[in-house]
């Protein structure tokens, strides 16, 4: 089970939001590079970076901070990036800057042709972020619920050739209320590609619950607020996941 520290960027700073609200941001660090190095030193095997300004603007807005993060971790671990990635030129620029995986969210739902082209042009580098509430997909920074069923869309994207799905229960994100295990497993069972759980991770018990369903196709989880406010010790959590997984 891969536990992936999240670094959310707003105005060049590392922040966490509650329920995706930009006005409800807590600043955790003024140095994205130092934050990335910290998680690397704690044993992280991948980083999850979100350009929050980019997600709302529809194009990357924190490029200097992103480059700082990539430089800080070097070739040691991969970095996955989401937020405002809406065209092939942006994907190419991200990959050229050293990003390993590009996360496409709203654009995958609104413009499936773009996602299809991206998977063809950059095989192995495209992850889709599906944010959902009560099984229905949300777009535009969670501000709009669509009528799309999350499993139906994920199956379509799997056929396109995406590398994996990040599934976020937006009713739980940033609330430390626990991962929606049932919905995550239901999605993973319907797919052949790996699913990464997101939204609500709060403590070591959540890690144990996720490890118990790893065989269903849940390959990892994104750790956000919990590892910043101290309710979950990242290094302890990854060690526990490794122990359960027999590593």
Active site residues: 8, 131
HSE toward the beta carbon, residue 113, CA cutoff 13 A:
0
* Residue partners of 150: CB distance under 8 A and separation at least 6: 130, 132, 135, 136, 137, 167, 187
Residue 26, beta-bridge partner list: 16
Q: Name the region of 146 (left: φ>0; alpha: ψ -120 to 50; beta: rest).
A: beta
In the chain, DSSP finds a helix count (H) and a strand count (E) of 11, 12
Residue 222, beta-bridge partner list: 4
In angstroms, the CA 149 to CA 152 distance is 5
* Residue partners of 190: CB distance under 8 A and separation at least 6: 151, 154, 155
* Residue partners of 155: CB distance under 8 A and separation at least 6: 190, 191
Residue 6, beta-bridge partner list: 48
Per DSSP, helices labelled H in the chain are: 32-41, 52-57, 63-73, 88-96, 106-110, 112-121, 150-160, 181-189, 204-211, 225-229, 234-245
Scan for tokens 């700082």, then name that residue. 68
In angstroms, the CA 240 to CA 237 distance is 5
């Amino acid at each position: 089970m891969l536990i992936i520290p999240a670094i959310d960027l707003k105005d060049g700073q590392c922040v966490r939001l509650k329920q995706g609200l930009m006005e409800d941001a807590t600043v955790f660090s003024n140095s994205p590079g130092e934050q990335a190095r910290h998680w690397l030193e704690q044993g992280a095997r991948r980083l999850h970076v979100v350009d929050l300004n980019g997600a709302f603007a529809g194009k990357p807005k924190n490029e200097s901070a992103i480059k700082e993060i990539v430089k800080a971790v070097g070739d040691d671990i991969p970095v996955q990036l989401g937020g405002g990635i809406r065209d092939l030129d942006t994907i190419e620029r991200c990959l050229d800057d050293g990003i390993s995986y590009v996360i496409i969210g709203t654009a995958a739902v609104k413009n499936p042709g773009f996602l299809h082209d991206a998977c063809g042009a950059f095989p192995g580098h495209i992850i889709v972020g599906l944010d959902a509430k009560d099984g229905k997909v949300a777009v535009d920074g969670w501000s709009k619920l669509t009528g799309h069923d999350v499993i139906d869309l994920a199956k379509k994207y799997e056929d396109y050739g995406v590398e994996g799905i990040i599934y976020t229960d937006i009713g739980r994100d940033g609330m430390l209320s626990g991962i929606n295990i049932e919905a995550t497993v239901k999605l993973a069972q319907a797919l052949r590609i790996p699913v990464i759980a997101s939204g609500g991770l709060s403590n070591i018990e959540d890690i144990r619950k996720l490890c118990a369903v790893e065989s269903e196709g849940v390959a990892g989880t994104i750790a956000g607020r919990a590892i910043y406010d101290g309710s979950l010790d990242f290094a302890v959590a990854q060690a526990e996941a490794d122990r359960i997984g027999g590593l």
